[in-house]
Each structure stands twice: as structure tokens, then as C-alpha cells.
Chain A
Amino acid sequence: MIRPEDLLHPTPFGLYCPPMDAYIDPVRSVERAIVTHGHSDHARAGHLSVLATPETLAAMAIRYGEGFTRVRQPAAYGESVSVGETRLTLLPAGHVLGSAQVLVEHKGLRMICTGDYKRRPDPTCVPFEPVACHILISEATFALPVFRHPDPEVEIRRLLTSLAGFPERTHLVGAYAFGKAQRVIRLLRLAGYDEPIIVHGALEGLNELYERFDVTLGPLERVPDARLKRSEASSRPGRIVIAPPSAMRTRWADRFADPLLAFASGWMTIRQRARAAGVELALAISDHADWLELTQTVSEINPEELWITHGRDDALARWAELEGRRARPLRLIGYEEEHGE
């Protein structure tokens, strides 16, 4: 059998697959890229060709414009693509719409790179599909035992309780524009909230993308125009506004009446982090696997060896050691720890 390092290994550009001459989520421009999902640190513009799910290709076109790559190679979940003797299959990762794990098979060796993933149910994307393999390359964003994300439904109920308790305050919810924002909207709908939700302009294209792939978001409204007089713009208190976190601390937020800042992110599990972000309502809703999801997934797939990419590789490697598993931190660079959260 081929050595695993000869099928996939870390390089400064990202994970490289020599038999295919392709990189997974390359951080610089390359000829052949395989992209796991549309978050900006994984999906960059300027590769010659990009192989990804149709959803991810559509998300990249919205982010970077139609010319983000020369050649688009769509591959649906579960559909195998042959490249020489190598077979490649994208599998659902449950992270955001279109997110995929990459299964590479060559000369009897099966390797899976999870990309970013989670195991909790998410009404905006296809759930993670565990598949057997020899080498599992797992992300480790929240790989510390302190990260045990609560049920998202519980967190959404806290948002609605706060809205009922402070009806005079606009609830300004910071959520990453791709994935988290739409998930929060869907969760609100599933919790029975039917009012129009006000969204920041940066979300509009991505919201349409979700609608196009049959994720219904219900009535949405544009943010009131900045040029409206303050009294008019803030005449609708007690509403939910969803905006990317970067917009919350800018003048943009001034137009709302006495806003109550909330933030939907896995990092909100930690009080000090919530405090540092200046958030009054910390919603621990994560699109990444928490400690239990990570460790249970490794146990369930039960690979011969675990490789760990970005995040807290030290803790996950220690866990593997205690479990008697072979593990190896890859220390890939270039992926932001806070991405997509």
C-alpha cells in the first residue's frame, strides 16, 4: 500500500495530493484546488481550476465574482470523480451550505479530510456523514474540553426571552455572514418567530443563495437607510437585526434605538471572550464541532491514524494519546482560528 504521506501531505500552500497534483483549500493561488467550503480562508479566488460542491462554487461566485476561477468542476455529494488512479469523493460535512469532507482513495488507501465540520443538526445544510477511512484529517477549532456547546434551540430561546423582556431595545445579533446568519434565521423560524427579520446588506447575496438551494428564510427586510432621520430609523424598536460581527461596532449600528448586542458564536461559551467582545447576550451557537463531537467522531470513524489540522491540535493529540490512538498534528498555517464563527 502507498504511504499516507505520498497521498496527502502538508505544504505552505495547504494539503497537497501528488498523484492528483491538487491542493485542498490552498491558501495561495494554485493550478488545481479542491475547496471544502465557501468560508474565505478556505475558499480563495485566483486558482486555475476549482473542484467543489455546486453550492460552494455558487458561494464563491457571490463572494469573488463570476471570474473567481477559470475552470469550475462541480461534484455533488457522494459522486466520485476519477483523476488517474485516484478517486475523489465529496461527502457532507454539516458545517455550512455546501460544505464537504474530501475522501481520497488511491491504491487501497482511504484518507478523509473533514474540512470544517459539526455533528449538531443544522436546518440549513446536509448533516455530516461518517465514512470509514485509514487516515482521518480532522479540524480542531474547538478542541478543548471546555468547549461543550449548548443546544442551539436553547440559545435561540434565550434570544427570544430577551426580546420579550426588553421589547424597547433592538436586538442586534452578530453572526458570520455565510452560514451562521442563515442558521440563526432558520432557528428563529423553527422556534415560531414569524416577524420580518432585518438583515445587513452584506447578507443579502448569501441569503438569496440559500433560498436558491431551498433553504427558506421567511420575511426579511433591508436595514433602514442610514440617511433616514434618527427618529425614523429607530422608530421600530424591539426587532431582531442580523449583521456580520464586523458591522456591530461601527457607526452603522448607531441607527438603532438603544441596541442590545448579541453575538452567535462558539467562542461565546467563554465568558471572558463575550465580555471582551462587548456583548450583552452571548449565544453559544457554533458551526464547528465541540470537544465531544470531535472526540466522538474520531471514535466512531475509528481511523488507523488521526491527523489534526488547524485549531487546538495539542489537546486533541493528548486525547488521542490517552485513548491509545496514533495522532499527528499537521500545523497547517494560514487558516484563521476565528473563521466562520
Chain B
Amino acid sequence: MQTFAELLDRLILTPSRQARVRILRAYLAATPDPDRGWALAAIAGGLKLPGLRPGLIRTLASTRLDPVLFSLSYDYVGDLAETVSLLWPARPGANRTPSLSEVVAGLQSAAPDERAQRLEIWLDSLSVSGRYALLKLSSGRLRIGASKRLALQAAAELGTHPIEEIEEIWHGLSPPYEDLFAWLEDRGQRPGEATPAGFRPVMLAHAAAPEFEPGRRLADTIDPEIYAAEWKWDGVRIQLVRERDVQRLYTRTGEDVTDAFPELMDEIGLTGRMDGELLIRGPDGEPAPFAEVQKRLGRRTISVREAARRPAFIRSYDLLDSDGQDLRLLPFRERRERLERLVPTLRPDRIDLSPLVGFSGAGELEALRRQPPQPAIEGLMLKRWDSPYMAGRPAGQWFKWKRDPCLIDAVMMYAQRGHGRRSGAFSDFTFGVWTSTPEGDRLTPVGKTYFGFTDEELVRLDRHVRETTVDRFGPVHSLATGPHQGLVLEVAFDAVQRSTRHRSGLAMRFPRIHRIRWDKPAGEADRLETLAAMIP
């Protein structure tokens, strides 16, 4: 367990990808089976353990430390596993440290009511980094910035087989992968067989602003003969595939989210692989706001009944293969034609077609981008008619041209220390706008943000908070505000909606600080009516 913990520590702090591959490769080469296999599974995300609920870990910690001190610590560190690993008071004369395999076997075999006890015994025997690794492992999510691809790359470098060969068989293998290591180290046969319905890397777009192509102005470039235009939908990019009776749904990073969307696993008529946007259908039949998609994505599984209440559907925009034929090298125009022929044969409530946006010139397109017809549209996508489907973000093929953000001037009202990497400074800010009350104009909070400022601005903001704090509620500092007092933040956001959960009755999507108006008197900040008028 200790070597695995040291591996995690080094992976976390090593910035270069190449160096991380090297570190992991060295670990895999030096560590015996089956420990290395469990480590590979944990890092590549293939380790399925009965995850311990965060609540259980918190409860365990509260047996050793005052809950208030625990919250203050957790609030500062921002990560449960790290907090507990640091403050766990070791017990003298603890047991010998367990191996990684013992921990995995222990977690897999423990009855639910035994897990806390096992965890406690292990925590007592491990060092700080050992405790951290244990808690990360048992919470089911490592999140150490090492992707599955990085893990497989390191494994590939144990031998001479390219990573693609491992990717093809990966879904059919199971940890601790002794057969895989044997093959990589030339001691055995190639294990498994190519898994059906595996993931293929997706093609990504560049941002279109401000220069569309090097040296050419946007308006001169968008020619309908060269580019197709589509709406950019505000959902989640997915890949739906059906091969040999196996159907799977992946996010753009290859994460398998099949179980979270059972309604898309019905018989829908597809044999092939499509690229599209996952959206939730609102009561009016149109795509619901992004928050609804996010809610669904946050859950690993869902009951059929719940799924029926907020059904997901796919708005498709590309076809990568069909009936066993790989289409990726065909130009977009041909793939699009095939997609247009295919979609009408599929279940219409599950899959529809993202329409092309007709235009004659850049001016017309610009107007559409600024005023899209639906709130679920984030802007436009421009795709070269002749673009093949290439993995990654190839230059000069696809562009996203987003709608301009909305802007308001708000006043900073409360501040809180940031979490994790920003825990030293005040960096979480609640801001408000003016509203009339019987006692005159008052600020009402409308949002919270911790994005959009530089490190230098953060230092200045932090000083502002220290100097103008008038009250404290736990970690929250309340700042002095009034018509002539208070800091104005120009806040950019993607959209604003009605909300019953917020005091102001409004909820903003992705607010971030656009500019800090050190110069502007707080009394001149915007009013609630202005914000309400921006609801689509």
C-alpha cells in the first residue's frame, strides 16, 4: 500500500504527461502481480469496489475529532480524503500496513457493516499518504489527473505492443490483469478478444474568435460552399454505439454512462456509431435547460420511472460507422447525407437530427449567433464540408462560435476562503444587485462565483475582503456595502432562469467575473429588474 501511495503522490505532483507515464511505467515494472494490476485498474478507472459513502468516512473521522474542528479543516482542504488523511490521529502500536491486494480483497469481501471497522484498522496502521491512497481508493474515485489513456500508455511501454492494441481488448479484461501483463512482457498469449461497442476518440472544435483562420477576418471566411453551420446545443456531447447486439453510451472522454440513461438502451434501431448531443426533453417537448442534463449525469444509475419523467434524447450530428463500415475518412458532407437517411428509420422520441442552419453570408450567421431561437442553443458550430472525422482537435476543420455572454454589474457582498489550491485566499464571492424594499434600496444576492480573475487580481480581492469585513458567520465574511461603499464586479454569465430555490427568484448559469470595476461606485451597479429582463 505504501508504494502505491507514493506512486499517487508522485503522479499528483508531476506536471508533464510524459514524466507521469514514465513514473507509472517504472511502478508497473517494479511491482509484482497482483498489486500492480489493482493499481492499474484503480488509475484507469476499471476497479469496481463497493464505494464507501462520504458520510461513512465523515462519521468515522468524527469519532476521533470534534465536528467543528473537522468542518473547519475540511472547508480549508476541500477534499475529504485528504482532510481525513491529514488529521487522523494515529494510534501507537498499530498493526502492520496492508498490501494493496489485501485492501482490495478486504473491501470487496467486507459486509457493509464491517467496512468502517476495517477502514479504521487500516487508517491506524498507515502513514498520511497511505491513508490518502486508501480513502481515495475506497471512495471509488481517484481523480489524480491520470487518465485511462495515460495508464494504458504506461502499460504499453512495458513491452512493444502499441497502445491501440491494448485499447481494443481492454473492455474484455478484468483486474488484476495478470494475463495482460504476461502478454505485454512476452510471457503469454494475447488475452481477450476485441470488445464490441468500444469507444472511439471524438473530434473536437476550435473556438472561432477572434480570428477565424490565421490572418483572415471572420466575415471574409464563412462561405456556405465551404462550411456547414449547425446549432451548438447546450447539452452533453456523447457517443452512442451498437455493435453485435451490445449498445453503449460514452461521454466525449470515453466514460461509460450507459447505466445512467436506461431509456436510451431500448431498441432504437441503430447499428453503428453516432456522435451527438444528449439533451433532456422539457414539458414543452423542447430541450430543457442544461441544469436538467447535469442532474441526470451526476447519478450513476436511475430507475426507469424517474427516467421516464425527464426523458433523455440524442440530437445527432455525425455518423462514424454504420453496419460495420467505418465512415470516418469520408468527408462531412457524405457522412451527413448518410445520417440524414438513417435518422428517420430510428425511434423518433429517442434520436432526432440536429438541423443544418441555412445561410448566405457571414452577416446573416452573425445575427443568428447573437439571437438564437431557443435557450438551449449556445451558439453555432461551423464544420468544413470536406472534413474527415479525426480524433482530437485538428486545426482548421471545425469551429465553435458561441453566443456572447450576458453581463451585469453586481456588488460583492460575501466572501469565503477558497478550497484546495486556493485555500489561502478569499476567492469564493457572493454578489448582489439592487432591489427596492420598503426601507429603500437594498442589495439582494443573485449569484456566487470563483472564476474569472488572475492571480494578481486575487491578491487584491483578498486584501479588499480583509479590509472591508464587517461581520463573520463561520467561514463567511460579510462585507461593508452601500451606495458609496462596496466593490462592483462585472459578471458574465451564460443564461439566467427563474428559480424557487434562490432568494432573488433567479438563478444564473456559469457566472464568472468578467472585469473588476475598482472605479465604479456601488450605487451604480445594476438592479434586479435588469437581470429579470434577461430571462429568455
Main secondary structure on chain B at its contact with chain A? helix
Interface size class on chain A is 20 to 34
CB atoms of A270 and B423 under 8 A apart: yes
- B13 with A145: CB separation less than 8 A: no
Q: Report B304 CB to chain A, min CB distance, Å.
A: 40
Q: Which residue of B lies closest to A272 (CB)?
A: B420
Assess whether B420 is in contact with A315, with CB atoms less than 8 Å apart: no
Selected contact of A146 from candidates B9, B83, B421, B422, CB within 8 Å: B83
The residues in B between 28 and 86 inclusive whose CB is less than 8 angstroms from any CB of A are 65-66, 68-70, 72-73, 76-79, 82-83, 86
Contacts of B15 in A (CB 8 A): 278, 280
Chain A contact residues, CB within 8 Å of chain B: 144-148, 150, 267, 269-276, 278-282, 312, 314-315, 318-319, 322, 333, 337-338
Residues of chain A with a CB closer than 8 A to B68's CB: 318
Q: List 10 A-B contacts (CB under 8 A).
A: A145-B73, A147-B86, A148-B87, A272-B420, A272-B421, A276-B421, A282-B13, A312-B76, A314-B474, A322-B66
Is the pair B87, A270 in contact by a Cβ cutoff of 8 Å? Answer: no
Residues of B within 8 A of A147 (CB): 86
Given contacts A145-B65, A146-B87, A337-B424, contact A280 B13 (CB under 8 A): yes
Residue in A145, A278, A333 whose CB lies within 8 Å of B69? A145
Distance of A312 Cα from B417 Cα, bound (Å): 12
CA distance A144 to B75 in the complex (A): 11
Residues 67 to 118 of chain B near chain A (Cβ within 8 Å): 68-70, 72-73, 76-79, 82-83, 86-87
> Which residues on B sit within 8 Å (CB–CB) of A337?
424
Contact between B77 and A272, CB atoms less than 8 A apart: yes
* A281, B13: Cβ atoms closer than 8 Å: yes
**Interface contact B12-A271, CB-CB below 8 Å:** yes
B299 contacts across to A, CB distance below 8 A = none
Verify B13–A279 contact, CB threshold 8 A.
yes
CB distance from A158 to the nearest CB of B (A): 10
Mark out the residues of chain B between 453 and 480 whose CB falls within 8 Å of any chain A CB in the assembled complex. 466-467, 474-475
Which residues on the B side are within 8 Å of A275 (C-beta)?
Answer: 12-13, 421
Partner pick for B82 among A150, A267, A271, A318, CB 8 A cutoff? A271
In contact, A333 and B467 (Cβ under 8 angstroms): yes
The 9 closest A-B pairs by CB, nearest first: A276-B421, A272-B420, A146-B86, A145-B87, A146-B73, A272-B421, A315-B72, A146-B87, A318-B68
0/1 string, B407-435, CB within 8 A of A gives 1: 00000000000011111100000000000
**A104 CA / B69 CA spacing, docked (Å):** 32
- List of A residues within 8 angstroms of B421 by Cβ: 272-273, 275-276
Q: How far is the CA of A276 from the CA of B65 in the complex (A)?
A: 28
Q: With an 8 A cutoff between CB atoms, is B345 at the interface?
A: no
Of all chain B residues, which has the CB nearest A276?
Answer: B421
Instruction: Known A-B contacts: A144-B72, A276-B422. Give 8 more (CB < 8 A).
Output: A146-B73, A147-B86, A150-B128, A270-B423, A271-B12, A273-B420, A273-B421, A282-B13
Distance (whole angstroms) from the CB of B220 to the closest CB of chain A: 39
Query: Contact between B76 and A144 (Cβ–Cβ < 8 Å)?
Result: yes
Q: Could you tell me if B66 and A314 are in contact, using CB atoms closer than 8 angstroms?
A: no
Cα of A28 to Cα of B82 in the assembled complex, Å? 39
Q: What bracket does the count of chain B residues touching chain A fall in?
A: 20 to 34
Quote the shortest CB–CB distance from B252 to chain A (angstroms): 25
List residues of chain B with CB within 8 A of the CB of A319.
66, 69
Verify if B147 is at the interface (C-beta below 8 Å from A): no
Q: How far is the CB of B157 from chain A (nearest CB, A)?
A: 19
Task: State A279–B12 Cα separation when bound (angstroms).
Answer: 10
Q: How far is the CB of A172 from chain B (nearest CB, A)?
A: 14
**A residues near B72, Cβ cutoff 8 Å:** 144, 312, 314-315, 318
Name B129's closest neighbour in chain A (CB-CB).
A271
Cα separation A312 to B421 with both chains bound (whole Å): 17
- Please tell me if the beta carbons of B69 and A315 are within 8 angstroms of each other in the complex: yes
- In contact, A272 and B86 (Cβ under 8 angstroms): no
Are A273 and B423 within 8 A (Cβ)?
yes
Within 8 Å of chain A (Cβ to Cβ): is B485? no
Return A236 CB to nearest CB of chain B, in Å.
Answer: 22
Does chain A have a CB within 8 A of B530? no
Report B-chain residues with C-beta under 8 Å of the C-beta of A144.
Answer: 69, 72-73, 76
CA distance A224 to B231 in the complex (A): 57
Residues on B with beta carbons closer than 8 Å to the beta carbon of A333: 466-467
Chain A residues contacting B132 (CB-CB under 8 Å) are 271
Q: Does B14 contact A (CB under 8 A)?
A: yes
Q: A267-B424, A314-B72 are in contact. Are A146 and B77 (CB under 8 A)?
A: yes
CB distance from A284 to the nearest CB of B (A): 10
A276 to B421, CA, bound (A): 5
Least Cβ–Cβ distance between A257 and chain B, in angstroms: 15
What residues on B are CB-neighbors of A269 within 8 Å?
86
Q: Please, which residues of chain B bring their CB within 8 A of the CB of A274?
A: 13
CA distance A314 to B467 in the complex (A): 18
Contact residues in A for B79 (Cβ distance below 8 Å): 271-272
How many angstroms between the C-alpha atoms of A280 and B132 in the bound complex? Answer: 18
